[in-house]
Chain A
Amino acid sequence: MASNATHYNNLKPAQPLDKKTLNKMVWRSLNLQASFNYERMQAAGWLYCILPGLEKIHGDNKEDLAISMGHNLEFFNTHPFLVTFVMGIVLSLEQQKTDISTIRSVRVAAMGPLGGIGDAIFWFTLVPITAGITANMAIDGSIAGPIIFLLIFNGVQFAIRFFLMGWSYKLGAKAIEIMTENAREFTRAASLLGVFVVGALTANMGNITVALEVANGESPIVIQSILDGILPKMIPLALTLLLYFLMKKKNWKPVMCIGLLLVIGIIGGLIGLF
């Protein structure tokens, strides 16, 4: 983020990543959420996961490696079990030394929709069914319950992780063929989609509400419902735009923005705003 480079210095495509490196990154992908936090969510974990690939790709140019690490530390959040799909595509773009705004846009556009799909596969289907059956086995006193649960859950998890990595890495390589011919148009279209998805994330992941009520006899006035009447998700949108303004025009650092939000949160907690 510190660097505002738009291209890598060395534009010569790197050697395609070998199977061993890809597999190593699949194993690392288990720890995607290692340093999860509220500001950038999985960002540092994401960087940790793809580092073996980035080191191979940008191994000949220390500065490119730093640039790549910098932009891969931006906000990232996707479904932990499906992350290898995003990894494959982003790594194939990195390997081709695609320009950075394209990589960023593709990353954002790919990470967003996977959350809902992953929740549907794992938390709404796989876990309730397997855990439901095996929990009853455990309640009957059978040690097979937990063992079968672990085997099924992890069998599905690892099959998906390895498959998605290989598949999307190839997919990315194919997309690049079409892309390089029309690079400028592609970058614009990717940015457009990326910005569109960030707009959707603002509404979809922004679930902050105020609990303020104004006493009014029998029917207190609920501030949140007034806000919703004007524009649903108004607070997430307003806060995002405020922070954008502070960072873009006032050169605030993210850490200062976090400080501001902590102050708002704790004062708000004290006066019963939330």
Chain B
Amino acid sequence: MQFNAIQIILVAVWAFIVGIDQFDFLESLYQPIVTGAVIGAILGDLQTGLVVGGTYQLMTIGNMPVGGAQPPNAVIGGVMSAVFGIASGLDTGAAVALAIPFALIGQYMITLVFTVMSPLMSSADKLAEKGDTKGIVRLNYFAMAMLGALFAVVCVGGLLGGSALGTSLQEFSDKYKWFMNGLDAAGKMMRFVGFATLLRIMLSNDLWGFYLSGFALAVVIGSIEGTAGATLLLVAFVGFAIAFYDFQTRVAMRKNAGSGNGGGDEDGI
């Protein structure tokens, strides 16, 4: 099946939008159920788009971006499965399967973008130092555009190159898997820079115990299956109790000290 220029451009535009939408905008346009229908409409077969999108949607329900984990990318998966379903007239299951290599590529691209964006934070620091509000806005739009453009390129590539491209991309990424693994691990570790920066500022010497006890509590709650999902909330309850108790005690101490200075013995009796 040949596509005309307008269709290719529209697919690129939609891929650009949903590439961003997976983290921003409405965070729902990218869902395969929507994307399948849109790609179907663009390629002139709304029915197939709806069916493939719906099928892919059911597959991803158990596979949400929970807690920052990146499952195979549903955005590219949704676009490409609709493309394959319509272009090659494959049955739904086969179309979805052919889209999986692209979904994995999408996952890698996100890892790459999130890593590349990390050093950019020191430019953001410099902008903040100058009070350059427009610069911060530009930086954010630039990052969004970069993500969208990458997704548009891969989807148009898939549209023109077909499933053969997916296979060769997968072979390529299998070959350099160690590099992606390493990058992924580095990415997972970078958040510790963020934590350490906060600690550098917040942690006075007498608060070390609270840092470690917060850590310990989260380890315990997080390792129990029934409570793991609510770990941070439960930890916050306990932390709040300690903080509030500390607050009340210190306020009471100061007030007592104040009245004590007044010289009255009545307080004690």
What is the interface of chain A, defined by CB distance below 8 A to chain B?
1-4, 30-41, 43-45, 47-48, 51, 54-55, 62-63, 65-66, 69-70, 72-75, 77, 80-81, 101, 104-105, 108-109, 112-113, 115-117, 119-120, 123-124, 127-128, 131-132, 134-139, 141-143, 145-146, 149-150, 153-154, 157, 182, 184-186, 188-208, 232-233, 236-237, 239-241, 243-244, 246-248, 253-255, 257-259, 261-262, 264-270, 272-274
Q: Which residues of B contact A202 (CB under 8 A)?
A: 192, 195, 214-215, 218
The answer to whether A44 and B247 touch across the interface, beta carbons within 8 angstroms, is no
Question: A66-B130, A261-B189, A265-B182 in contact; A197/B214 too (CB < 8 A)?
Answer: yes
User: What are the residues of chain B within 8 A of A105 when measuring CB–CB?
Assistant: 202
Are A80 and B27 in contact (CB-based, < 8 A)? yes
Q: In whole angstroms, what is the CA distance A40 to B129 when docked?
A: 17
Minimum CB–CB distance for B187 against chain A, Å: 4
Residues of chain B whose beta carbon lies under 8 Å from any beta carbon of chain A: 23-29, 31, 33-34, 36-37, 46-47, 50-51, 53-55, 57-58, 61, 64-68, 114-122, 124-125, 127-131, 133, 136-137, 139-144, 178-204, 207, 210-219, 222-223, 229-233, 235-236, 238-240, 242-244, 246-247, 250-251, 254
Is A31's CB under 8 angstroms from B25's CB? Answer: yes
B199 and A195 within 8 A (CB): yes
**Contact A104 B124, CB 8 Å, known A36-B23, A269-B179:** no
Cβ contact within 8 Å between A261 and B182: no
Q: Is B139 in contact with A35, judged by CB distance below 8 angstroms?
A: yes
Do the beta carbons of B229 and A146 come within 8 Å of each other? no
Name the contact of A139 in the complex, choosing from B55, B118, B199, B201 (C-beta under 8 A).
B55
Given known A-B contacts A37-B117, A135-B57, A185 and B250 have beta carbons under 8 A apart: yes
Say yes or no: B128 contacts A135, CB within 8 Å. no
Contact A269:B185 (CB < 8 A) given known A41-B191, A201-B232, A203-B222: yes
Q: Which residues of B contact A108 (CB under 8 A)?
A: 198, 202
B133 touches A55 (CB 8 A): yes
Given contacts A36-B23, A192-B242, A194-B202, contact A200 B214 (CB under 8 A): yes
Does more than half of chain B's interface fall in helix, strand or loop, or is it mixed? helix
Q: Given the complex, which residues of B lie within 8 Å of A233, measured CB to CB? A: 215, 219
List 16 A-B residue pairs with CB atoms under 8 Å apart, sorted by A's residue number. A2-B129, A4-B201, A34-B140, A38-B187, A48-B136, A74-B198, A105-B202, A127-B31, A131-B31, A195-B202, A195-B211, A196-B242, A199-B216, A203-B222, A233-B219, A265-B187
Given contact pairs A69-B128, A243-B193, A138 touches B50 in the complex (Cβ within 8 A): yes
Distance in Å: Cβ of A146 to nearest Cβ of chain B: 5
Q: Indicate if the CB atoms of A146 and B50 lie closer than 8 Å.
A: yes
Inter-chain contact B120/A261, CB cutoff 8 Å: no
> Do B196 and A197 have beta carbons less than 8 Å apart?
no
- Beyond contacts A69-B131, A119-B67: 20 other A-B pairs, Cβ-Cβ < 8 A, are A35-B142, A37-B121, A38-B186, A38-B189, A40-B194, A81-B27, A115-B67, A116-B229, A123-B66, A135-B54, A135-B57, A139-B54, A193-B239, A200-B214, A201-B218, A202-B214, A207-B188, A243-B192, A254-B193, A274-B185
- Does A48 lie within 8 Å of B137, measured CB to CB? yes
Which one of B50, B120, B143, B181 lies within 8 Å of A142 (CB-CB)? Answer: B50
Q: Which residues of B contact A274 (CB under 8 A)?
A: 181-182, 184-185
Among A120, A136, A197, A243, which residue has its beta carbon within 8 angstroms of that of B54?
A: A136
By the criterion CB–CB under 8 Å, are A141 and B47 in contact? yes
Distance from B157 Cβ to chain A, minimum over Cβ atoms (Å): 24
> Are A43 and B121 neighbours in the complex by a CB distance under 8 Å?
yes
For B58, B121, B188, the residue with the greatest tally of chain A CB atoms inside 10 Å of its CB is B121
Q: Are B194 and A270 in contact (CB under 8 A)?
A: no
B50 touches A34 (CB 8 A): no
Choose from B23, B29, B115, B133 the contact partner of A51 (Cβ within 8 Å).
Answer: B133
Nearest opposing residue in chain A for B61, CB measure: A128
List, in ascending order, chain B residues with CB within 8 A of A153's CB: 26, 28
Give the CA-CA distance A119 to B68 in the complex, in Å. Answer: 10
B192 touches A236 (CB 8 A): yes
Closest approach, in angstroms, between the C-beta of A207 and any C-beta of chain B? 6
Q: Measured between C-beta atoms, what is the minimum distance from A119 to chain B in Å?
A: 5
Q: Please determine whether B131 and A258 come into contact, CB atoms closer than 8 angstroms.
A: no
Contacts of A259 in B (CB 8 A): 119
Q: Are the CB atoms of A149 and B66 closer together than 8 Å?
A: no
